[in-house]
Amino acid sequence: MREVLILPAALLAAWGPPAAAESPVPDSGHVLVTATRTPLPLDEVLASAFVIDRDAIERSVAVDATELLRFHAGLELGRNGGPGQTTAIFIRGAESNHTLVLVDGVRINPGTIGLAALQNLSPSLIERIEIVKGPRSALYGTDAIGGVVNVVTRPGAVDGWSVEAGYGDYETRQASLNAGFGDDRLAFDVGVSWLDSAGFPTRTTDDTDRGYENLGATAQLRARLGEADVSARHWRSEGTSEYSDFFLTPVDQDYLTSTTSLQAALPLGQATRGQFTVSRLEDRIEQNQSDDDLRTERDTVDVQFDRAALGVHVLGAGVQYARERADSTSFGERMRADTDLVNAYLQDRIVAGPHRALLALGYADHETAGDAVTWNAEYGYVFDGTMLYGLAGTGFRAPDATDRYGFGGNPDLEPERSRNVEAGVRHRVGDRHAFGLAAFRNDIDDLIEFVTLSFEPFEGENRNVEAARIEGVEASYEYDAAPWYARVEAIHQDPRNRDTDERLFRRARDSVTVSLLRSLGAVRVGLDVLATGDRKDFGFPEPVTLDGYVLANLTASWQATPALALSVRVENLLDEQYELAHTFNTPDRGLYVSMRYAPGAAQVTTVARRDAAPAPGAYSLAGGTDRRESPWVTD
From the number of C-beta atoms within 10 Å of its C-beta (0-12, 13-18, 19+), residue 521 rates as exposed
Helix or strand holding residue 611 (H, E): none
Which of helix, strand or coil describes residue 537? strand
Helix or strand holding residue 450 (H, E): strand 433-452
Per-residue confidence at 629, pLDDT binned at 50, 70, 90?
very low
Per-residue confidence at 28, pLDDT binned at 50, 70, 90?
low
pLDDT at 413 over 60: yes
Buried b (16+ CB within 10 A) or exposed e, 361-371: bbbbbbeebee
End-to-end CA distance of the chain: 19
Q: What is the mean pLDDT of residues 191-205?
A: 96
**Spatial CB neighbours of 192, under 8 Å, sequence gap ≥ 6:** 176, 177, 215, 216, 217
Counting residues of the chain whose pLDDT is more than 70, the rounded percentage is 89
- Domain residue extents for the chain: 2-629
Q: Among residues 369, 372, 420, 313, which one has the least CA distance to residue 138?
A: 372
Which of helix, strand or coil describes residue 7? helix
**Spatial CB neighbours of 353, under 8 Å, sequence gap ≥ 6:** 19, 22
Counting residues of the chain whose pLDDT is more than 90, the rounded percentage is 77
Determine contact, residues 431/480, Cβ cutoff 8 Å. yes
Per the prediction, the chain carries an average pLDDT of 88
The single-letter DSSP state of residue 125 is: G
Q: What is the mean pLDDT of residues 130-137?
A: 97
Q: Which CATH superfamily is domain 2-629 in?
A: TonB-dependent receptor, beta-barrel domain (2.40.170.20)
From the number of C-beta atoms within 10 Å of its C-beta (0-12, 13-18, 19+), residue 237 rates as buried
Helix or strand holding residue 138 (H, E): helix 137-140
How many Cβ atoms from other residues are within 10 Å of residue 333's Cβ? 12
Per-residue confidence at 96, pLDDT binned at 50, 70, 90?
very high
pLDDT at 409 over 80: yes
| C-alpha to C-alpha distance for 228 and 218, rounded to whole angstroms | 23
Determine contact, residues 593/566, Cβ cutoff 8 Å. yes
Buried b (16+ CB within 10 A) or exposed e, 15-36: bbebbbbebebebbbbbbbbbb
pLDDT tens-digit profile of 549-582?
A: 999 999 999 999 999 999 999 999 999 999 999 9
pLDDT at 14 over 70: no
| C-alpha to C-alpha distance for 176 and 190, rounded to whole angstroms | 11
pLDDT, residue 620, reads: 78
pLDDT, residue 21, reads: 36
3-state helix vs strand vs coil in the chain, percent to 5: 10, 55, 35
**Alpha-helical segments (H) within 315-469:** 401-405
HEC letters along 452-476: ECCCCCCCEEEEEEEEEEEEEEEEE
pLDDT, residue 25, reads: 47
Q: Distances from the Cα of 518 to the Cαs of 136, 490, 523, 527, 564, in angstroms?
A: 36, 22, 8, 9, 20
Q: What is the DSSP string of 307-335?
A: EEETTTEEEEEEEEEEEEEEEEEETTEEE
pLDDT, residue 184, reads: 81
Q: Residue 394 phi/psi, 5° resolution?
A: -125, 160
Determine contact, residues 165/174, Cβ cutoff 8 Å. yes
The whole-angstrom distance between residue 387's C-alpha and the CA centroid of its chain comes to 25
pLDDT, residue 158, reads: 61
pLDDT tens-digit profile of 301-344?
A: 999 999 999 889 999 999 999 999 999 988 778 889 999 999 99
pLDDT, residue 133, reads: 97
Per-residue confidence at 183, pLDDT binned at 50, 70, 90?
confident
Indicate the pairing of strand 564-571 with strand 549-559.
antiparallel
Indicate the pairing of strand 40-41 with strand 31-32.
antiparallel
